[in-house]
Structure 1
Amino acid sequence: MPSSALSTSFAGRRSLLVALLILPALLSVLWNQPAAAQEAPVEIPPPAVDLVETGTSATAVFAGGCFWGVQGVFQHVKGVTRAVSGYSGGSAETATYEQTGSGTTGHAESVEVTYDPSVVTYGDLLQVYFSVAHNPTQLNYQGPDHGTQYRSTIFPATEEQAETARAYIAQLDETGLFEGPIVTTIEPLEAFYPAEQYHQDFLTLNPTWPYIVFHDLPKIAALKQLFPDAYREEPVLVGTL
């Protein structure tokens, strides 16, 4: 568990963020105007060429804004056996929430997804990542979260994963289904560092937080709607690291 000082600091920053998120909704009520709607997911085709992996366990690392929502989405995907929030792109010495939040460490808030390739393929995960988990056309931000730590990035564990991701990005750009070009980068996976315990399973443990309600629960609903055969009602949780 985090120290009391760290917990207080974290709660203070998030309380300010929550207040800022609630303000537009309150103003819309006062002025009798509708609040801005949650960004709609994009229904996209699966990869034309998927990755064939043997065995019963593989890992993939994705970054796409705040890791709370990305983790929460993948925890509801059948075949995913574990999804952990953490940091990738920087060094071990700076792999903390406080330092990553500065946007100067090279880290991105990321999620390490462990999955069974015989149930869900890497291409399946990519399809969920691009269509539901985040908006791949937003450069160095997602919704209200700005900075390189919130960038859209795939950290492939193998060259085969990298090739599959590059081909899929090219395929999706050709479809014209997104409002702009995909800005997702593909960066070598040097390491993945799990985030602090209080970030794990955050969506499931805090379903009434305004940030979760406004930005992340709609992703879970979209996953269920667009991928009914892949959706699992009960998420696979991290528990205690």
Structure 2
Amino acid sequence: MKSPALTFLLLLGLIFSSSACDSQKTNASAGSETTAMPDRKGNPEPVAGITIQELDKNYEGLEKAYLAGGCFWCTEAALDRIQGVVDVHSGYAGGKEVNPTYKEVSAGKTSHAEAIVVYYDPAVIDYNTVLDVFFVAHDPTQVNRQGPDVGPHYRSAIFPINEEQRMAAEAKIGALNQSGKFSKKIATTIEDPIEFYLAEAYHQDYYEDPSNPNQGYVQNVSRPKVEKVMKVFKDRLKPEFLK
């Protein structure tokens, strides 16, 4: 959950953002291209009103992970329930375009993926366990999609921020492929983060807000994924999520 101060900053970003959540997730079109918009010059300011570098200052002493596993509403809520995870924010990663908007990313007009940044306490949870939760929170065998959400912007990807994370991600994918846990090969890519951009304020903690207009999607698509994580990692749930 976001702190009041961070929520205020993100809400400011919403006020000054020209983007609007104008479509259901299930309206994503198949075969979306990741080529940048030919006339796109980039937005002058980040849509959240705050950069990732500025956000990092609120989490000194913690470590972070950048992950993409389809709709960020789902993965954000799933990781946020785990002990040691201090905060999770939705955003965009893996693209070269500056200050992308949800409208652009969801239309496949940039090379970004919907992603999350996970801030976690390494004294409580390590990167390997964060990856374990990530691989349960989505289907890593699907290529450029997650269920009804289709396009490269819904790809499964890990964005290591150092060599240690890269090696851990490679080892995890290799182990999963060898385990036979999945009937298909892991499709998760390991990519350079390039730059992580926070998503618009209305996407943050979206799953937790019953007033959001896409609650049909949340209940039918997001909720089963979140509940799966809660079942598999029941011994690692934060107290407030114990049933």
Report the TM-score range of the alignment, normalised by the length of the smaller protein. Answer: 0.7 to 0.9
Distance in 1, matches of 2:151 and 2:185, equals: 19
CA positional deviation for 1:99? 1.2
Distance in 2, matches of 1:15 and 1:130, equals: 21
Q: Which residue of 2 aligns with 1:185?
A: 189
Whether 1:98 and 2:103 are equivalent positions in the alignment is yes
Q: Which amino acid aligns with 1:151?
A: R
Whether 1:117 and 2:122 are equivalent positions in the alignment is yes
Give the structure with higher Rg (CA). Answer: 1
Q: 1:207 to 1:157 in 2, by over 3 A?
A: farther
Say if 2:78 and 2:229, in contact at 8 Å, map to a contact too. Answer: yes
Distance in 2, matches of 1:4 and 1:123, equals: 37
CA positional deviation for 1:6? 5.9
Distance in 2, matches of 1:65 and 1:233, equals: 27
Distance in 1, matches of 2:104 and 2:25, equals: 19
Whether 1:139 and 2:128 are equivalent positions in the alignment is no
Q: Which residue of 1 aligns with 2:237?
A: 231
Aligned residues: 196
Q: Which residue of 2 aligns with 1:217?
A: 223
Q: Deviations over 1:156-185 (max 9, x none)?
A: 111110100101101110111102000000
Q: Deviations over 1:177-214 (max 9, x none)?
A: 10200000000122111000000000011388111111
Q: Which residue of 2 aligns with 1:24?
A: none
Q: Which residue of 1 aligns with 2:77?
A: 72
Whether 1:88 and 2:104 are equivalent positions in the alignment is no
The answer for unaligned runs of 5 or more in structure 1 is 18-54, 236-241
> SS at 1:104's partner residue?
coil
Say if 1:156 and 1:188, in contact at 8 Å, map to a contact too. Answer: yes
RMSD value, Cα: 2.5
TM-score normalised by length of structure 2 = 0.74
CA positional deviation for 1:73? 0.5
Distance in 1, matches of 2:109 and 2:201, equals: 22
CA positional deviation for 1:10? 2.1
Distance in 2, matches of 1:107 and 1:135, equals: 19
TM-score normalised by length of structure 1 = 0.75
Report % sequence identity. 39
Q: Which residue of 2 aligns with 1:152?
A: 156
Q: Which residue of 1 aligns with 2:35?
A: none
> SS at 1:229's partner residue?
helix
Q: Deviations over 1:27-53 (max 9, x none)?
A: xxxxxxxxxxxxxxxxxxxxxxxxxxx
> SS at 1:10's partner residue?
coil
Q: Which amino acid aligns with 2:24?
A: R
Q: Which residue of 1 aligns with 2:21?
A: 10
Q: Which moved more, 1:199-208 or 1:62-71?
A: 199-208
Q: Which moved more, 1:165-174 or 1:222-231?
A: 222-231
> SS at 2:222's partner residue?
helix
